[in-house]
Amino acid sequence: MTVTTLPVARNAEERLANIQELRQRVHRMQGTATSHPLPTLPVLDGLVRLRTGASYAVDRPGLAMALMAGPSGAGSWSAVVGVSDFGLEAAAGFGVDLDRTVLVPEPGDAWLEVAAALVDVLQVVVVRPPARVTQHQAARLSSRLRQRDALLISVGDWPQAESRLWIEESTWTGIGRGHGRVTGHRARVAALLHTGQRRDAEIWLPADDLRLKTADDLVDREPGRLSSVG
């Protein structure tokens, strides 16, 4: 018989946190539906707030790394399925704990089954579907997310996603006249919530120190730029 022990609370706030933690453990063991907030990086606060039981869609791996970095940095285990170009150095710079990250770069046709199995044991699962996801497939995995207190991040469209994030415009720093190297990536990121509300923000993905920052946190230090729209 296994006994779950919670730390001794020193005040009312800690007692409440302990009760909530115990409740989440019970829900997870019983497989009953639950949802609660997960840590979101401060640079993304104006765009999205992560919650378990939900799915999120992004248009590229860099945004997936930014979303998973909050829970991962706070101790959650994560998995990345079908993203063969997932950059480990970039992910670590964003704040992803690689020691708590499982990679399945080539799941083949069994990608959905692999993702579902990982949802059973890990809290954050990133997946790149190889083809269009049907409503039925999304509904099956959504039910599992709610029961297992987990969340999904799709690199590509996902039916009934809680939020969809994409990069509308990018500017790279560090490029001179035919020379130099990229040292920073400033992006205008848009988010469309399931309610229809749209939000926008400019962030560094990443700055020249490989960290995520809001556009106001860093002044351009490089004379050269290369811009791209879309």
Instruction: Give me the DSSP letters along 57-88.
Output: EESSHHHHHHHHHHHHHTT--EEEES-TT--H
From the list 46, 47, 44, 22, the residue with the least C-alpha distance to 36 is 22
pLDDT tens per residue across span 176-224: 545 555 568 888 999 999 999 999 999 988 777 767 878 764 333 333 3
Chain position carrying tokens 């720093």 = 173
**pLDDT for the residue numbered 230:** 43
Joined tokens for residue 81: 């399925």
98 falls in which pLDDT band (50, 70, 90)? very high
Q: How much is the mean pLDDT over the chain?
A: 82
pLDDT at 173: 77
Instruction: Select from 3.40.50.2000, 3.40.640.10, 3.40.50.300, 3.40.50.10860 the CATH code of 42-162.
Output: 3.40.50.300
Contacts of 223 (CB under 8 A, 6+ apart): 176
Q: What is the DSSP string of 185-219?
A: EEEEEEEEETTS-EEEEEEESS-TTS--EEGGG--
| Average pLDDT of the segment spanning 5-18 | 54
Q: Rounded to whole angstroms, how far apart are CA atoms 15 and 5? A: 13
pLDDT at 209: 73
Q: Are strands 124-127 and 78-81 parallel, antiparallel or unpaired?
A: parallel
Q: Which among 23-32, 146-155, 173-182 has the top mean pLDDT?
A: 146-155
Contacts of 31 (CB under 8 A, 6+ apart): 147, 148
Q: How far is CA 40 from CA 45, 49, 60, 94, 219, in A?
A: 7, 6, 18, 12, 24
* pLDDT of 160 over the 60 cut: yes
Give me the residue spans of the domains in the chain.
Answer: 42-162, 164-229
Q: What is the mean pLDDT of residues 53-63?
A: 96
Cis peptide, bond prior to residue 129, ω within 30 of zero: no
- Give the pTM: 0.77
